[in-house]
A and B are shown apart, each in its own frame.
Chain A
Amino acid sequence: MNNIGIEQILFISTALFFIGVYGLFTRRNMITMLMAVELILNSVNINFVSFNKYLYPERLDGVFFTIFIIAIAAAEAAVAIAIIINIYRNHQSIDVEDSEEMKY
């Protein structure tokens, strides 16, 4: 276990981030997009934790931030799902392409 370096972890988190970005750009379903956002957030969380561990092992700032992000992500998910439900009520659809009134 000791020979897992920061590079491997960063690789994972970067992969996770781009998977999330890819999901965000390509999925049409808002729930799926929300899930993709969660992936991005979690890749950030991994970064925080790992940098904390490898660069400043004596401090806990990164861990705290991660906890914050998890909490905020939960709140965000709640808000987002509420918005999505409202959109569904109006459009009978949660396809992101269908709600494009906010233009021009």
Chain B
Amino acid sequence: MSNYDYISLIPILPIAGFVLIGLAGKKYFPALSGWLATLLIGTSAVLSLFTAYQYFIVDGAANGVYPQLLPVDMQWLQFTNTLSINMGILLDPISVMMLVVVTFVSLMVHIYSTGYMKGESRYATFFAYLQLFTFSMLGLVMSSNLFQIYIFWELVGVSSFLLIGFYFDKPSAVAASKKAFIVTRFADLFFLIGILITGVTAHSFNFTDIIANLTSPEFLKEYSATFLGFSVVTWALVLIFIGGAGKSAMFPLHIWLPDAMEGPTPVSALIHAATMVVAGVYLVARLFPVFAITGSGAIDVVAYIGIFSALFAALIACTQTDIKRVLAYSTMSQIGYMMFALGVSSQAHDAGFTASMFHLFTHAFFKSLLFLGAGLVIHAVHSNDMKDMGGLRKYLPITHITFLIGCLAIAGVPPFAGFFSKEGILHAAYTTHPDIYYVALVTSGLTAFYMFRLYFRIFWNKADIHLHHFHGEGAWSMKFPLLILATLSIAAGFVPFAHYVTATRTEGHMHTDIMFSIAPVLIGLLGIAVAMMWYKNENDRADKAVAMMRGVYRTAYHKFYIDELYIFITKKVIFNCIGRPAAWIDRNIVDGTMNFIALMTGEISDSIKGMQSGKVQGYAMYFFAGVIGLTLICLYIWM
């Protein structure tokens, strides 16, 4: 057993960076803050890689099972004797894998940002926020406790809010950041209720205890309490999943993700592509043994929401013209893949679990690559819109090549990384849920189509164009991460992933089936071919196709009017039908009652004040009448 004493440094370094740069960076070392942040996160990344090395290679699986280690565990907030929020670090295959992904992508984004954000007046602040985000994300993936994950869940939410709204004098950025925060917060409400139910049912918030208690045969036998036809555990899991769906932009809580592209591009690469948005997938994976209890039904919700989101987002992505939004919808679609891969798994057939985690792993690299590449494109043309682009391959050679690698990876062309992980997912779906498999197959064709539509329209399409204000492709600090990530987008697929990560923490093995792969690859190539035919050169084939499917196109272009529906519900229903009446009732009825009491007191005193006439003889009369009255009463009583 190796020594993991250094492990708490991994999250502590970024938070120290946040405090240091946030408090002093802007004033005392603005230019250095980027490199300081990069240094800190680089150290964390090295430590994470070392942890992974120790965990997977040096220690390895004992008796074929990877252990769950708890190097740090302290009580943070006690509720009752058994229930408490603990701050701990849980090391198991998925958390170690996530550690590597998060620190590595974060490091790449830090390096890239030193170039990308150069000249920005709030340069130091940007890095402070990045550090805060990285800290929160690391805390999230290392959580040992369900409530701890919720804490960091909220913290990543707020750092995402800060980063999306980084250009806070732009109203659209402020609106997008608010939207992201509020939508995920709304989802977190369900997550919180799910946590409360789980905690009270399982008598613990610690993952290991929850899983042990809720999957124990005694519990399953005894605990038959139901609510509206489903068991309490199912309810808790569905509620927790809603929380995860909010963060991971699953339908119908996805509306914040496209708008979140208002943030600086490195932020989109880090938060909205590689790390935070997969938190929902990670959460489901973390509780997978409970989800996989047979007959709970929660796992099917995961599967069907996942596949629906994948298809839905892919359809929208085909119509969008803002390149970052296309990437955002593609992220949503790919996360849908990861979700349904978990959803089709069970304890017996856990290939989907491995495939899902594998896809999370590879997707982090090629999607952040695509975003960072898009950042360079945007830097060059000063626009997010496809119609301002075209023929850029001469101007941006490195970006072009790396972007192509990213597109090939996401389209699932062998031997790029996405191929392996997507094959795993499709295979897992095929064996248990054929219906999902066919939808997923169509989606993967769409994925190839819209990614290459994006690629061709950026780098080909127009024959020769002039770029105004073009200052070269960018500093090496921006190109270097692209090259690294492109290498990984090729190489990551060859990692024997199943050897390390399985649902049961055993050492599994990957089975590749060449015959099975033919169909998905062909579909992918077909999508690429269509995109090539329509978009490689300027022609009107695409327009004709659009004209043919006008209704579908327009609906997809308007994102199936989900945003409008939300605005209707919030602005019209909640504000006008609940908020306004509540405020009105408070001012007029509740406060009106109080004022009415005060007014009545005044009125009564006004109407009887005439008795205080100031006339002495009047008073004497009252007095005398009173005496007479009392006398009569006394006489009456005595008689």
Contacts and interface: CB of A to CB of B under 8 A. Distances in A.
Interface residues of B, number: 10
A67 interface: no
Contact of B614 (A24, A25, A33, A103): A103
Given A25-B617, A100-B614, 14 more contacts: A24-B617, A25-B621, A25-B624, A33-B617, A96-B617, A100-B615, A101-B614, A102-B614, A103-B612, A103-B613, A103-B614, A103-B615, A104-B612, A104-B614
Contact of B620 (A25, A97, A99, A101): A25
Contacts of B614: 99-104
Contacts of B609: 104
A21 B612 contact: no
B619 to A, nearest CB: 10
Nearest to A97: B615
The 8 A-B pairs of least Cβ separation, nearest first, read A103-B614, A100-B614, A104-B609, A103-B612, A102-B614, A104-B612, A100-B615, A25-B617
Nearest to A100: B614
B565 interface: no
B616 interface: yes
Nearest to A102: B614
Interface in B582-626: 609, 612-617, 620-621, 624
B67 to A, nearest CB: 88
A103 B610 CA distance: 9
Contacts of B624: 21, 25
A97 B613 CA distance: 10
A34 to B, nearest CB: 12
A11 B421 CA distance: 122
Interface of A: 21, 24-25, 33, 96-97, 99-104
B522 to A, nearest CB: 99
A25 B609 CA distance: 21
15 contacts: A21-B624, A25-B620, A33-B617, A96-B615, A96-B617, A97-B615, A99-B614, A100-B613, A100-B614, A102-B614, A103-B612, A103-B613, A103-B615, A104-B609, A104-B614
Nearest to B624: A21
A26 B614 CA distance: 16
B327 to A, nearest CB: 79
Nearest to B616: A96
A97 B616 CA distance: 8
Contacts of B613: 100, 103
B513 to A, nearest CB: 101
Contacts of A97: 615
A33 B616 CA distance: 11
A20 to B, nearest CB: 11
A33 B609 CA distance: 26
Contacts of B621: 25
A53 to B, nearest CB: 25
A99 B624 CA distance: 21
A33 B617 CA distance: 9
Contacts of A33: 617
A48 to B, nearest CB: 19
A14 to B, nearest CB: 13
B464 to A, nearest CB: 95
Contacts of A96: 615-617
Best-buried of A21, A25, A97, A103 by chain B (most CB within 10 Å): A103
A92 B494 CA distance: 117
Contacts of B612: 103-104
B615 A24 contact: no
Identify which of A33, A97, A101, A104 gathers the most chain B CB atoms within 10 Å of its CB: A104
Contacts of A102: 614
Contacts of A104: 609, 612, 614
Nearest to B605: A104
Contacts of B620: 24-25
A24 B620 CA distance: 8
Contacts of A101: 614
Contacts of B616: 96
Nearest to B609: A104
Contacts of B617: 24-25, 33, 96
Interface string B557-601: 000000000000000000000000000000000000000000000
A97 B617 CA distance: 9
A103 B611 CA distance: 9
Nearest to A103: B614
A102 B613 CA distance: 8
Contacts of B615: 96-97, 100, 103
A44 to B, nearest CB: 14
A96 to B, nearest CB: 6
A71 to B, nearest CB: 24
A102 B615 CA distance: 8
A92 to B, nearest CB: 18
A1 B613 CA distance: 50
B297 to A, nearest CB: 76
B624 to A, nearest CB: 7
A76 to B, nearest CB: 15
A97 B618 CA distance: 10
A21 B609 CA distance: 25
A33 B615 CA distance: 13
A104 B617 CA distance: 16
B401 to A, nearest CB: 95
B262 to A, nearest CB: 66
